[in-house]
Structure 1
Amino acid sequence: MSFWKNLFGGGASSAEPAGDKVLGEEGHKGFLIKAIEMKAGSELQLAGTIEKEIDGELKTYRFVRADRMTSRDDLVALALSKGKQIIDEQGEQIFN
């Protein structure tokens, strides 16, 4: 029965986040970047969050990219780098 559910969309996607397991984090320009574990089959998909407290409220921006890899270390390095790039390009505008 589960074969049919997966075939026709009744099952959960393997690319959905598994409880936001944080693999690494780093601060950048007052923001906190977190590399998030997001499984895609036997690989890990590039995902993370960017957080910043603004006017006493914690704001969070989640990003997911198409890049996939098998190495957790590579994933963490790339997610933190991508987070820095997003911050450098958009700053606090990502929360709007």
Structure 2
Amino acid sequence: MSLFSALKSMFSGGSAPAEPVTESFPPVEYEGYTITPTPQQEGSQYRICGEIVKGDQSHTFVRADLLPSAESCRDEMVRKARQMIDQQGDAIF
């Protein structure tokens, strides 16, 4: 590793960008909406991320929450998406 590379990694934060999970989760239907969880791996944890679709409209969201497994992240994403649908309905688009 060169001196420049070492200095660059020290000041750039050294963290890799979030990567989508290679494991796919099936979409969940709820109140006429389709919820698709797409957790993003960050190190050994997973960030809540997903998409809500109704007809030709879609809303993608990413949350700050980090969870220890892709499955727990999927479950929490679906829970939050249902809550958002209940509270905002079509206003989320």
Q: TM-score, normalising length from structure 1?
A: 0.74
Choose the corresponding residue for 1:62, options 60, 63, 67: 60
Question: Do the aligned partners of 1:20 and 1:36 also contact (CA within 8 Å) in 2?
Answer: no
**Matching of residue 31 in structure 1 with residue 33 in structure 2:** yes
Amino acid at match of 1:31: Y
From the superposition, tell whether residues 92 and 14 of structure 1 become closer, same or farther in structure 2 (CA, over 3 Å).
Answer: same
Query: 1:14 is matched by which residue type in structure 2?
Result: P
Structure having the higher strand fraction is 1
Structure 2 unaligned residues grouped into runs of 5+:
none
Query: In the alignment, which residue of structure 1 is the partner of 2:91?
Result: 93
Residue from 14, 18, 24 that aligns with 2:17: 14
Q: Cα RMSD between the aligned structures?
A: 2.6
Cα offsets for 1:44-67 (capped at 9, x unmatched): 1011110010xxxx2110111111
1:48 alignment partner in structure 2:
50
Provide, for residues 42-92 of structure 1, a one-character-per-residue CA deviation record: whole Å limited to 9, x for no partner.
211011110010xxxx21101111111121221111111011011011111
Distance 2:58 2:7 in 1: 37
The normalised TM-score by structure 2 is: 0.76
Q: Distance in 2 between matches of 1:3 and 1:23?
A: 38
Task: Answer yes or no: is 1:78 the counterpart of 2:79.
Answer: no
TM-aligned CA distance change 1:50 to 1:22, over 3 Å: farther
